[in-house]
Each structure stands twice: as structure tokens, then as C-alpha cells.
Amino acid sequence: MNIGKDSLLHFLFPPRCPFCDRVLFHSLFAKSPLVCRECEGLPEQVGEPACCKCGKPLQDGRAEYCYDCGRKELAYAQGKALWAYKGPVKDSLYRFKYQNRQEYARYYGIQLARAYGEWIQRCGISAVVPIPLSRKRLRQRGFNQAGLVAIRLGKEMGLPVFPNLLLRVRDTTAQKELNEEERKNNLKRAFKTSANKVQLDHILLIDDIYTTGTTMNEAAKELKRAGAAEVYCLSISIGRGY
């Protein structure tokens, strides 16, 4: 019997449900599910009404923009997100980042492609670029969570991924620990492109969590400064807008 590499890896290191973290059933003769049946409906999908700029879900169906996007100019063209950042999604991303559940990236990437594949094509995306970690944080964690998701999404969409095009040149404080003004100052000049001239027209930035958009905006500024025509944003999860 010829056992493929992926099947052997799944047999030795069985995948886990990204929401309850239970080991998923696996057979050498059938594809392993990506999520257990009990958890399929748990994440809250981002839908309408949503901010036209960043994609945050809105309470007011008449509003065009969320509070953040309505009062400031952003460097990226448009953003989208898969799930609301709460409950099982919040727990899942915590395990992904801090408990080494790198296998979750496969599920996240596939779901992003399913939900926003058509949007990605309409935007004319030519490359996928993950939000980078600083060297210090990358050494501590051992992997860049956005990079793993970007690689999977690129594979699903048939798009090139450039994990080292954007660099984080300053070891910034975690954004969740700062207020709005501190977030803006924290990320100023934090990003730099590895190439002086970016020969890409439409870039899709990938991150795990979108809050106020400061990280995505500063990264988009640097990419456009280096020559990118348009930058779009896509994240696994997002906070609620007002």
C-alpha cells in the first residue's frame, strides 16, 4: 500500500479541530475533516452591515463606515475579515499563536479562500504578503502566524507569496496593550521593504487580527512608498465597529 506523505504526517501528528482542539478523526483512506461537526457553526462569520473600508461588522445598517474609518484616511484600498474576534475564534487564535497550533493555519487559509476568493480575484491581487514579526518575537514564537496563513491562502488561490518582502525593523510593543495614540506612534517607521522598489501592482496583506487598523495601515504605507499601486487587507478575525 502506497501511503502519501501528507497521510503519513496526519497519521503520526493528527490534526486538531481549531475550535475545541480535539484530535480529528483520520483515515488513510479518507480525507481528514478540517473542523469537527460540533464546531462547524461556532465562529461568527462577518457579514452585512459592514464598514465599506475595513470590513468591520456594524450595528447601524445605515452607516457606511465604522468610527475609526470615518475619521481618518487609510493607505490601503479595502479590507475584509472572516470572523468576529470573540468566543471560540479568540480562543482558537490564542492557541494558534501561543500554544504552537501551527496546523490551524491550513483551516484558516482554506476558509479565507472560500469566503473571499472572488473578492481577491476582483481586486486583481498579484501577490500575498503577511504582516511580519520582529526578529526577537519570531525567535521567541518560532513561526510567523500570518506567514503560515498567507502561504496556505496563496496555495488555494494560485498566487505567489512573499513572506520576506515586508520586514518589521523595530521590536514594537504589542498593540493590544496600547491606546489609540500610542498605537500610531508605536508603529511609525516599524516596517520596511526588503527591496527598494516593489515590482507588484496589487498586494494583499494578511494578518490574524484586525483591531483599529494601525498595523495594516502602516504596512500599506510602506508598500505603497516602495512602489505598490494598491494594497488590500485580509484578516482571520476583526473587532466590531460602531
97-126 pLDDT per residue, tens: 999 999 999 999 999 999 999 999 999 999
Alpha helices in 41-127 (DSSP H): 67-70, 87-98, 104-122
d(CA 105, CA 69): 29
pLDDT digits (tens, 9 = 90+) for 12-38: 567 889 999 998 876 544 566 789 999
pTM: 0.87
Percent share of the chain, pLDDT over 90: 67
What are the structural domains, with CATH classification, of the chain?
1-42 (no CATH), 43-238 (3.40.50.2020)
Q: Which helix (H) or strand (E) holds 129?
A: strand 127-130
d(CA 2, CA 232): 43
- Residue 70: CA atoms inside 13 Å, Cβ hemisphere, count? 11
